[in-house]
Structure 1
Amino acid sequence: MTPVSSPYVPDVSRYTKRESRAVPVGPIQIGGGAPIVIQSMLTSDTMDTGACVREALDLVEAGCELVRITAPTVKDAANLRAIRDELRSRGCPVPLVADIHFKPEAAMEAARWVDKIRINPGNYADRKKFVVRSYTDEEYASAVARLEDAFLPLVHLCQERGIAMRIGTNHGSLSDRILNRYGDTPLGMVESALEYARICRKAGFHRIVFSMKASNPRIMISAYRRLIAVLQELGPDWNYPIHLGVTEAGDGEDGRVKSAVGIGALLADGIGDTIRVSLTEDSVREIPVAEALRALVEEFAGAPRPKEALVPPFDPFSFQRRHSHRWVRNAKVGGGEPVRVAVLEENFAALESASAGTEMVPELGYRPGMAEEVDPEDPATLAELETGAPRLVTVRDGCPYPPLYAFRMLAARIPSRHPILLKDTFFPGEKGDPLRERLNSALQVGALLCDGIGDAVLLRREADPKKALELSYNILQATGNRSFKADFVACPSCGRTLFNLQETTARIRAATGHLKGVKIAVMGCIVNGPGEMADADFGYVGGAPGKVNLYVGKKAVRFNIPQEQAVDSLIALIAEEGKWIDPPRS
């Protein structure tokens, strides 16, 4: 597979919905011009029919339009029939999706009862033992042929029943064969999915949905962009719908910010036909976040359209921070400095005092006239920036375009030596739904930071200056620009989970949250274990009921620790690895 050369969207400064073919899933449709479908996943044990039915009904009442259920064994898969029948007897037609990882035989059973099958190419009929080896072309082709033999029966069954399939690649669970040839990269993620899609197409099966999920929004965005560009190069009949999600996003504001950055950035580019927000919380709490993100698309679609198309001022497939020169006032901005957090000058002193001794401090007191306020479509104003020393530049208030599009225009049209101050709104003082406003801030600013654009951020949608400061830092952490606390990768609960994820994540966060720069993965089972942890420093993984395995990177180092001792054992392991510091005194 060769690197892509085509753009991933027609124009990065205006909303154009990607056209995709329609894929029926029970009574609903994904793609083909249908509204974005919101989905979620049950946290109940798949063998507990009553609990699954109650949770599914609660999700539907909350606004969920597609319900996914794990089917790790044939026995679990067979019980999907009972869940489906009970839902239908209660007048609930919501489509059901079976989530399959390791067992083709479970997929074959599940496909008899559901409307859609999700398979993970890294786990389904392929080897994942973290083995390093070289494959000759003949060995590689032979492995793909064996994969085809194992996968075709499921394709034929889906074809016979008229059900859909999501080919869902996850960044952390690529097969050894893909890893050895392509590395743990977005390119490898795309090729992993295309192997399975080629088999489907060879059999004449086209009810396919793709996903490219990762816990790191920057990687996730890059992988989806690459997928879209590759599908475009392959031809117009490769226009399959896209499922968006940031996997293992976590809980609280961290999970919401990561989801808004990753999912929102792609929605704003017109990519995405169905979304799932993965929070380590009760599943119904995912739905309002997904609804708010879907609603934000309406703002992008209804925004004025710029006069001219824009060549992307960033590499869509590989992150590179925009080069700028240093600008110095009461803070150093640009020129390789960390992305700075700006606050309104009238709030600076109070916030500085309140945040003393913490990592979340205001760094730039912003006042009118400090930055060059630029209309990115005004040739005269832009011409003034062609000469002279580096200046801090931003888009003027009142600009009619969403900040994501306006700052892309600005970055494309001013010399790179000028550092850029990002704003989350050009109409400060307007008030809306608090959740939607915070998600909008994370989307607009976070997407730009993932493009490599921005040297300082100023959030004004949030009226509370302290909350705005905290959100600024959370966006910087989610986008990989700053690290001021431990970073947590936590999967949402499902029927495979071997302990209470919400309670456990909260305990681990309370004990280790002060460990700046340390990344900890909390995974409920081996499916979301060493592979899904991706680049975490330490892992806490359910190994058996009541037992936990601990990892350093992707290597298991301690096994079958009683759950009540596991958090203390994790702390001891972090200390052994030289990454523990005592928490600050309150």
Structure 2
Amino acid sequence: MIDLFNFQRRKTSVTHVGALDIGGDNPVRVQSMTTTSTDDTAGSVAQAERIIDAGGELVRLTTQGKREAENLKNINAQLRADGYMAPLCADVHFNANVADVAALYAEKVRINPGNYVDPARTFKKLEYTDEEYAQELQKIEDRLVPFINICKENHTAVRIGVNHGSLSDRIRNRYGDTPEGIVESCMEFLRIFRKYQFNDIVISIKSSNTVVMVQSVRLLVAEMDKEGMHYPLHLGVTEAGEGEDGRIKSAVGIGALLADGIGDTIRVSLSEEPECEIPVAKYLTWYIRSHEKHLLIPAEQAPDFDYLHPKRRETVAAGNIGGDNVPVVIATRKAEHAAVDVSSPELPKPDYIYVQGELPEKLAKNQKYILDYDAYMELANSGKRALDGIYPIFPVTGMPFISLLKADVKFLVLKYGTPSEEFLACLKTHPEVVVVCMTSHQNRLGDQRALVHQLMIAGVKNPVVFAQMYQHSSSDTNTFKAISPKEQLQLEAAIDMGALMMDGLTDGLWLMNNGDIAQEDVEQTAFAILQAGRLRMVKTEYISCPGCGRTLYDLRTTIARIKEATKGMTGLKVGIMGCIVNGPGEMADADYGYVGAGPNKVSLYRKQVCVEHNIPEEEAVEHLLALIKADQQGKQ
């Protein structure tokens, strides 16, 4: 049972992967995956060594066929000869026979329930009787038993890796394209492994959609607990992308679970060199460890809150905050900067700017401002300027003045632990008040959750904006030299906001930093976090895979070209996939897909429907743009 307010690691069994133990009291392990061909021994060894040198504790390699699986023996031997002892994991799709071979030479084998025995997806509607469904499950068991026996004989661990993008037609037609279907796809395999007393298992459930990923893992943990299973979990957001957006998206999804004590090994999937993933993963695990042994938060869970099936908390809108409105972004600027736009023209602008006690001489057009209540009161009494678009903010000590000031929206700063009698009565009397939830607690998530649950229990429906304050400067010195202060801010804020967004508690985000990070970067990080949590789309989203030995074209160059050509298409989701393993499946969450179909050949998708086959790579980006423009013109 998850404690929503007090951090503790989920209790799991221990899985042995070579000399590496995962789960139990062991630290959260970090890993990555090579992008080289597994036939290329020297290239794979060199890349694996770079991953390990960066701090990777396990290296995964794709094994499309028996030849690649057999070459794991040479790769493994060379790594050991070079003094590298990190275990290897073979990544197997579509061919159960390859898994049998890989289990001889790798310390761990990843199999995907969506394509281990079930045929390739057609995305067609098929009906299974209960008897037919049971027969399909028996086929899976019959094929798994030989593999289980090989793994037992060779002390090979297994990762059961379910991807949202590669659910079988059988699962999709019985359970739909849902978190429940993702979980059942995993549980079918787990029940067979347990039946044959094989327990060196790690489980992963991934999606490019952070909401689906988090909800599915939460459901899986509950289902495993119900059936007495406590296997360790591997966390990751598939096709997270590259750069800042990829890092923030990964931190939102992975962090939302780690912050609740869920997760025993992680992989941050970035469309970059694999060793670049390791510092990000290590920072996530370090930050979560900082939550340990915090002061107890004596909070109570609201009875109508459903952790496994969360929905947005019901609120009464105050202006454009709460209700059915998308979450707002509040920024802090000094008066001399508040009248000018510090953002680039194509970037989203904050909904409100807090200027403390001093308004700028000239207000920016269509911009809303937040002013300290005493300065607001003085301005109102002076009659020197209109108060349209200006709103007061109150500390707890200023509550008696809330009823004295007239404004459509007012802000009240609260922390959990503040005596509730006065502020609960005030909030019920003043639905125009937006709660600004602050915290200085070691466990930000638990403390801020606690305040909102206190409001829910009391039946208070005022909107809540989460205020997150950090201290990062370019002069900072710590052990994470590979992670810049700006990236540290982005990762920490994404982790702290992840579960709050997934729980449906977020009506706004006020991100602050006491340091020299550019204000534009702070503000755009807030927007990026809301987009990663699927709460507010403000720019084009790219669902791009990290690449592996299956990638069939120049992935990184292609991503750059597509990004440059589509960067102004706000809200558009473009999938850029190296191969067909997850490509078509993840198209359900993308408007368009660009998928490797063969060497230097690309197929284009509209959602999950392939609309152009085998386009030469050098022409494919232009074909994608033509498809998007044709569809846009057709809607006009």
Give the equivalent residue in structure 1 for 2:452.
411
Per-residue deviation at 1:576?
A: 2.1
The answer on 1:150 being equivalent to 2:192 is no
Give the equivalent residue in structure 1 for 2:292.
301
Structure 2 CA distance, aligned partners of 1:579 and 1:349? 40
The answer on 1:340 being equivalent to 2:328 is yes
Q: Which residue type is aligned with residue 444 of structure 2? A: P
Report SS of the residue matched to 1:336.
coil
The answer on 1:484 being equivalent to 2:538 is yes
Structure 2 CA distance, aligned partners of 1:522 and 1:581? 24
CA contact (8 A) 2:113 2:161 kept: yes
The answer on 1:440 being equivalent to 2:492 is yes
CA contact (8 A) 2:438 2:468 kept: no
CA contact (8 A) 1:448 1:454 kept: yes
CA contact (8 A) 1:17 1:270 kept: yes
- Choose from 328, 339, 343 the match for 1:355: 343
After TM superposition, list the pairs within 5 Å mapping 1:44-193 onto structure 2.
44-127=36-119, 128-193=121-186
Q: Which residue type is aligned with residue 373 of structure 1? A: V
Per-residue deviation at 1:541?
A: 0.6
Structure 2 CA distance, aligned partners of 1:348 and 1:546? 53
Per-residue deviation at 1:402?
A: 3.0
After TM superposition, list the pairs within 5 Å mapping 1:496-535 onto structure 2.
496-535=550-589
Structure 1 CA distance, aligned partners of 2:527 and 2:415? 27
Question: C-alpha offsets along residues 143-197 of structure 1, whole Å, 9 cap, x if unaligned?
Answer: 1111111222111111111111111111121111110111111111110011111
Give the equivalent residue in structure 2 for 1:560.
614
Report SS of the residue matched to 1:560.
strand
Q: Which residue type is aligned with residue 138 of structure 1? A: E
Report SS of the residue matched to 1:226.
helix
Structure 1 CA distance, aligned partners of 2:494 and 2:634? 30
Report SS of the residue matched to 2:586.
coil
Alpha carbons of structure 1 residues 581 and 472: separation in structure 2 relative to 1, 3 Å: farther
Per-residue deviation at 1:94?
A: 0.8
Structure 2 CA distance, aligned partners of 1:138 and 1:465? 61
Q: Which residue type is aligned with residue 179 of structure 1? A: R
CA contact (8 A) 2:175 2:181 kept: yes
Structure 2 CA distance, aligned partners of 1:275 and 1:408? 25
Per-residue deviation at 1:386?
A: 5.2
The answer on 1:211 being equivalent to 2:204 is yes
Give the equivalent residue in structure 2 for 1:455.
507
Q: Which residue type is aligned with residue 565 of structure 1? A: E
Q: Which residue type is aligned with residue 440 of structure 1? A: E
Per-residue deviation at 1:580?
A: 9.4
Alpha carbons of structure 1 residues 351 and 21: separation in structure 2 relative to 1, 3 Å: farther
Question: C-alpha offsets along residues 408-462 of structure 1, whole Å, 9 cap, x if unaligned?
Answer: 1111112442111111237799967432222001111233122111212111137
Question: 5+ unaligned residues in a row in structure 2: which ranges?
Answer: 357-371, 374-392, 394-410, 478-484
Report SS of the residue matched to 2:629.
helix
CA contact (8 A) 1:118 1:165 kept: yes
Report SS of the residue matched to 1:327.
coil
CA contact (8 A) 1:12 1:311 kept: no
Alpha carbons of structure 1 residues 551 and 426: separation in structure 2 relative to 1, 3 Å: closer
Per-residue deviation at 1:221?
A: 0.6
Give the equivalent residue in structure 1 for 2:443.
402
Structure 2 CA distance, aligned partners of 1:580 and 1:83? 52
Report SS of the residue matched to 1:302.
coil
Q: Which residue type is aligned with residue 242 of structure 1? A: L
Q: Which residue type is aligned with residue 297 of structure 1? A: I
Structure 2 CA distance, aligned partners of 1:185 and 1:254? 25
Q: Which residue type is aligned with residue 457 of structure 1? A: L
After TM superposition, list the pairs within 5 Å mapping 1:362-401 onto structure 2.
362-366=350-354, 367=356, 368=372, 370=393, 371-377=411-417, 378-385=419-426, 387-390=428-431, 391-396=433-438, 399-401=440-442
Structure 1 CA distance, aligned partners of 2:43 and 2:470? 47
CA contact (8 A) 1:171 1:532 kept: yes
Alpha carbons of structure 1 residues 203 and 396: separation in structure 2 relative to 1, 3 Å: closer
Report SS of the residue matched to 1:533.
helix
Give the equivalent residue in structure 1 for 2:368.
none
Question: 5+ unaligned residues in a row in structure 1: which ranges?
Answer: 1-6
Structure 1 CA distance, aligned partners of 2:133 and 2:73? 38
Give the equivalent residue in structure 1 for 2:465.
421
CA contact (8 A) 2:338 2:353 kept: no
CA contact (8 A) 1:178 1:192 kept: yes
Per-residue deviation at 1:58?
A: 0.7
CA contact (8 A) 1:334 1:455 kept: yes
Report SS of the residue matched to 1:130.
coil
Per-residue deviation at 1:401?
A: 4.3
Q: Which residue type is aligned with residue 87 of structure 1? A: L
Alpha carbons of structure 1 residues 116 and 279: separation in structure 2 relative to 1, 3 Å: same
Per-residue deviation at 1:537?
A: 1.1
Per-residue deviation at 1:373?
A: 1.9
Give the equivalent residue in structure 1 for 2:30.
38
Structure 1 CA distance, aligned partners of 2:353 and 2:487? 26
CA contact (8 A) 1:425 1:459 kept: yes
CA contact (8 A) 1:100 1:106 kept: yes
Q: Which residue type is aligned with residue 183 of structure 2? A: V
Give the equivalent residue in structure 1 for 2:242.
251
Question: C-alpha offsets along residues 300-348 of structure 1, whole Å, 9 cap, x if unaligned?
Answer: 11322212453477432334221211223xxx21122221110115269
Question: What's the RMSD between the two structures over aligned residues?
Answer: 2.1
Structure 2 CA distance, aligned partners of 1:464 and 1:265? 26
CA contact (8 A) 1:316 1:451 kept: yes
- Choose from 220, 227, 233 the match for 2:213: 220
Identical positions, percent? 41
Structure 2 CA distance, aligned partners of 1:161 and 1:257? 39
What is the TM-score of this pair, normalised by structure 2? 0.86
What is the TM-score of this pair, normalised by structure 1? 0.93
Report SS of the residue matched to 1:521.
strand
Give the equivalent residue in structure 1 for 2:253.
262
Question: C-alpha offsets along residues 335-374 of structure 1, whole Å, 9 cap, x if unaligned?
Answer: 2222111011526954852337434101112245512222
Report SS of the residue matched to 1:353.
coil
Q: Which residue type is aligned with residue 289 of structure 1? A: V
Alpha carbons of structure 1 residues 357 and 82: separation in structure 2 relative to 1, 3 Å: same
Per-residue deviation at 1:49?
A: 0.3
Alpha carbons of structure 1 residues 74 and 426: separation in structure 2 relative to 1, 3 Å: closer
